[in-house]
Amino acid sequence: MSTIAETGSRRQTRSSMRVDGWRWAGRIFLLLMLLYTAVPMIWMLITSIKSGFAATQFPPQWWPDEPTLASYRKLLDPQNSVGQDFLRFFWNSLFVSTATTILSVIVAVPAAYAFSRFTFPGRNFLFFAVLLRNMFPAVIFLVPLFILMRAIGLVNTHGSLILTYLTFGLPLAIWLLKGFYDNIPVQLEQAARIDGATRFQAFIMIVMPLSTPGIIATAIYSFIGAWNEYIYAYTFLSKNDQLTLPVGIQRFFSENTTDFPGLMAASFMMSVPVVVLFLVLQRYFVRALTEGAVKH
């Protein structure tokens, strides 16, 4: 009896040791990944509070001798020409991204709902046609879209970017949201319609609240995509006062000698809205990605 118990416990120890080994390997791997992703950002932050001279020193100062917020002050100062430009780029980016997000939600919600709930001729074809755009690298469409934008007189307007970003963002948004609507039992709407709601009321009062996480996730995707986009913004816009942040930062700081602390401060501030958005809404975001993966 005791021998059996001993053998059992020994076997258990060995297997738990093996599990522990894997667990530690996993932890070390995660730690390395963390360093890999976090160190550049930390370095960006540290550089942004250095003076211009300290930033280019070798060997580098791991922590600046004289930390300074001068770069930030300069960027956020509306009196300063650098600050004027930066703030204008920031607002341009915010405008383009927000407009893209709002429009893509407005279009994607009814589109996804229709794909999920209605059967109509060409439904499958249309649904895959929506994805066709995402099967090619974005750059392929650069020249055709530029020619198109020139033809309709949208070059050098934010409208050209908003339209372009919608063509990237919408397919994904529609797919994501359709998955959400597929997961909401159609009986809920039927129950609402029997309980006295019109079809539209059933959608607004029952389906919409349930799909909020999906809509938020979709909105974040669209926003981040538009906020970070570089190539199209670089191609379609040439007037200084219209540039968005990714292009603006690059143009501004590499004209003569590069002001590295300034560049890093600007980069940091550019990432702030995305990070804040993500932190506030990540709960919904994660749920959206896993929703529909399994049947509950």
In the complex, the residues that contact other proteins under the rule CB under 8 A are 185, 187-188, 190-198, 201, 206, 209-210
Single out the residue of 292, 189, 173 nearest to residue 226, CA to CA.
173
The least distance separating other proteins from the CB of residue 115, rounded to whole angstroms, comes to 19
Q: Which is nearer to other proteins, 12 or 198 (CB)?
A: 198
What is the rounded distance in angstroms from the CA atom of residue 20 to the CA atom of residue 158?
55
Output the smallest distance, CB 185 to other proteins, in A.
6
Which residue, 20 or 195, is less far from other proteins as judged by CB? 195
Least distance in Å: CB of 272 to other proteins? 32
Instruction: Choose between 210 and 224: whose C-beta lies nearer to other proteins.
Output: 210
The number of CA neighbours under 13 Å toward the Cβ of 155 is 14
Amino acid at position 239, single letter: K
Nearer to other proteins, 23 or 283 (CB): 283
Residues 6+ apart with CB under 8 A from 166: 100, 103, 104, 107
Q: Which is nearer to other proteins, 137 or 196 (CB)?
A: 196
C-alpha span between 275 and 296 (Å, rounded):
31
Question: Which of 104/211 has CB closer to other proteins?
Answer: 211
CB of 201 to other proteins, least distance (A): 8
Could you please report the per-residue DSSP string of 219-265?
Answer: HHHHHHHHHH--HHHHHH--SGGG--HHHHHHHHHTSSS--HHHHHH
Please state the length of the chain.
Answer: 296
Instruction: Quickly list DSSP for 47-111.
Output: HHTS-HHHHT-SSPPSS-SS---HHHHHHH-TTSHHHHHHHHHHHHHHHHHHHHHHHHHHHHHHH
> Least distance (Å) from other proteins to the CB of residue 17?
40
Residue 202 Cβ, how far from other proteins at the closest point, in Å?
9
Alpha carbons 64 and 67: distance in angstroms, whole number: 5
- Written as six digits, the tokens of 183 are 């997961």
- Minimum distance from residue 101 beta carbon to other proteins (Å): 24
Rounded Cα–Cα distance for residues 35 and 169 (Å): 31
